[in-house]
């Protein structure tokens, strides 16, 4: 029997919403304070996914002010296809509220926002047999809306508040047979996260809760996948049903830490007595009937294209003058827009960390600037390998503390900066050099320099301080290039999972 491994989209890709068009599946995820927003993935089998763009890829679609805190921005998108058109609806909690955009093609271009006059977050769209569009929001309230203007035509009115757990959110409406099903997440997005479902004959209700709620929860279990929730359903062409949902993979000593953020998992769904039924989400499941493996994503970007690949993201914004692929052909040139990674407004271009064990490296020419490689959770939690004034420094920012932990003199010319994460041989060490505490973090983040003469290790840091449990918020680690003074040019950037290239969920 063929199997697949979870997660199917690794790293900080939470709140998945899925739709199928013919043989093709598309998924979008939350992006929070990062630009461009709402990453969009394509698959032919629900297991192998490739990012084909970002729905919100220009400033006119997405405004996130510099004053917006980390983990604000874009929450919980829903992706749907109706009558030949794609719809994506989401919430910008930092500016404006709920809005939808549309496109004839999943790869875009997507329209300018249509603001939807329904309060709340986590909006959903569903159409009835008469062509009416229904929008559900966290709470759970439902309204009939005009998708062209965003105006409310009926409602909103509350239809169900879940089973009584906190934060009933992420509602999705489905028409299956003669029933309308309303699925939502509740219990909060941490360890108590769960999925519950109710049904009614009409989107207006009244909704009858499933007798076996919650439909899914890993709370109180020792399973390696935790925080399961915020789910969406899709039916395959062969009639089978599947659920895409978020979850985490905590590691380390109690209370355990997750550093990659909330990831996208896949699990099969059965129907029994008119209700969906889901078992525990496993690291490995029997595969869908038709697997269509994709070629592995390139591990190295040589910056020799006309635009940045869609996986590159920046906090809040990416002004045109802050980066260039043409100023020095074959290099990514970054120009400083702020003088510190500790405050919003800096120039940073990064990608999500998607594997627990990985190596990220960049070739940097920083003759006229202060620049480097950063492993980032937010402005108050990041580890940096910085080059300035002929020296390389490793800097740890943990909450209110900022400390330079290593310094090394550099020769003239470009230098290769390396950040590795590993889940074995953790710090603090054991034996004579022990610090009196166990090596209980989720991983170790190690920085080094590489040259033709060999590798120069600089520092090894406990990874727990770049985790959700320490930093808080809804995102995960992003590894990237930055400049905080003058300009810097990067010849290439390479990201390799331990053991070599592989799919994002391995």
* Alpha carbon distance 263, 11 (integer Å): 5
Give residue for tokens 């439902």: 142
**CB of 119 closer than 8 Å to CB of 58:** no
Cis before 7 (ω within 30): yes
Give the CA distances from residue 354 to residues 105, 244, 343, 472, 506, in Å, rounded to whole numbers and listed in that order. 27, 17, 25, 19, 9
> How buried is residue 132: exposed, middle or buried, by Cβ count under 10 Å (0-12/13-18/19+)?
middle
Give 216's Cβ-side CA count (13 Å radius): 31
**CA-derived radius of gyration, the chain:** 23
How do beta strands 179-186 and 275-277 pair?
unpaired
- CA neighbor of 231 nearest in space, from 199, 207, 197: 197
Rounded Cα gap, residues 185 and 163, in angstroms: 10
The alpha carbon of residue 339 and the mean position of all alpha carbons in its chain are separated, in whole angstroms, by 27
Question: Are 247 and 265 in contact, with CB atoms under 8 Å apart?
Answer: yes
Give CA–CA dist 449/361, Å, rounded. Answer: 9
DSSP three-state, residue 321: helix
Strands 3-5 and 284-286: antiparallel
Distance CA 81, CA 74 (A): 20
Cβ partners under 8 Å of residue 83, min gap 6? 127, 131
Active site residues: 15, 169
Sheet of strand 263-272, all strands in order from the earlier edge strand to the far edge: 226-235, 241-248, 263-272, 275-277
Residue 351 to residue 286: CA distance in whole angstroms: 30
Spatial contact of 244 and 235, defined as CB atoms under 8 Å apart: no
CB 421 within 8 A of CB 352: no
- Return the bridge partners of 217, or none: 194
| Angstrom distance (rounded) from CA 130 to CA 392 | 65
99, 75 contact by CB (below 8 A): no
Q: What six digits make up the tokens of 444?
A: 């170790």
Report helix, strand or coil for 470.
helix
Answer whether 463's CB lies under 8 Å from 257's CB: yes
């Amino acid at each position: 029997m063929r199997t697949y491994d979870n997660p199917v989209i690794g790293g900080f890709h939470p709140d998945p919403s899925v739709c199928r068009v013919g043989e093709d599946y598309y998924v979008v995820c939350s992006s929070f304070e990062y630009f461009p927003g709402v990453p969009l993935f394509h698959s032919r089998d629900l297991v192998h996914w490739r990012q084909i763009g970002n729905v919100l890829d220009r400033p006119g679609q997405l405004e996130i002010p510099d004053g917006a805190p980390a983990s604000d921005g874009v929450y919980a998108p829903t992706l749907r296809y109706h009558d030949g058109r794609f719809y994506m609806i989401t919430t910008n909690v930092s500016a404006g509220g709920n809005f939808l955009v549309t496109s004839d093609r999943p790869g875009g271009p997507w329209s300018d926002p249509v603001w939807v006059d329904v309060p709340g977050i986590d909006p959903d769209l569903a159409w009835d047999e008469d062509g009416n569009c229904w929008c559900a929001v966290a709470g759970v309230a439902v309204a009939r809306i005009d998708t062209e203007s965003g105006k409310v035509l009926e409602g909103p009115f509350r239809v169900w508040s879940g089973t009584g757990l906190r934060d009933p959110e992420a509602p999705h409406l489905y028409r299956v047979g003669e029933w309308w099903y309303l699925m939502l997440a509740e219990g909060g997005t941490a360890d108590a996260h769960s999925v519950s479902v109710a049904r009614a004959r009409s989107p207006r209700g009244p909704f009858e809760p499933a007798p076996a709620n919650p439909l899914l929860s890993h709370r109180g279990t020792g399973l390696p996948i935790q925080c399961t929730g915020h789910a969406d359903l899709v039916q395959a062409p062969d009639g089978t049903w599947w659920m895409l949902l978020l979850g985490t993979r905590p590691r380390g000593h109690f209370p355990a830490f997750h550093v990659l953020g909330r990831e996208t998992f896949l699990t099969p769904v059965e129907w029994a007595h008119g209700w969906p039924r889901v078992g525990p989400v496993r690291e490995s499941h029997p595969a869908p009937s038709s697997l269509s493996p994709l070629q592995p994503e390139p591990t190295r970007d040589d910056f020799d294209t006309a635009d940045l690949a869609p996986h590159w993201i920046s906090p809040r914004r990416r002004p045109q003058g802050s980066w260039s692929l043409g100023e020095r052909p074959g290099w990514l040139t970054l120009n400083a827009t702020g003088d510190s990674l500790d405050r919003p407004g800096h120039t940073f271009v990064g990608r999500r960390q998607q594997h627990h064990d990985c190596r990220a490296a960049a070739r940097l020419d920083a003759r006229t600037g202060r620049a480097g490689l950063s492993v980032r959770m937010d402005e108050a939690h990041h580890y940096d390998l910085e080059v300035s004034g002929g020296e390389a420094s490793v800097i740890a920012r943990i909450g209110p503390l900022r400390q330079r932990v290593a310094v090394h003199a550099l020769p003239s010319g470009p230098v290769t900066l390396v950040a590795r994460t590993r889940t074995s041989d953790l710090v603090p060490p054991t034996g004579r050099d022990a610090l009196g505490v166990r090596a209980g973090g989720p991983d170790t983040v190690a920085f080094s320099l590489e040259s033709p003469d060999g590798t120069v290790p600089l520092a090894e840091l406990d990874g727990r301080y770049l985790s959700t449990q320490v930093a808080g918020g809804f995102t995960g680690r992003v590894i990237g290039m930055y400049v905080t003074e003058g300009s810097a040019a990067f010849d290439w950037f390479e990201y390799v999972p331990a053991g070599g290239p592989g799919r994002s969920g391995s």
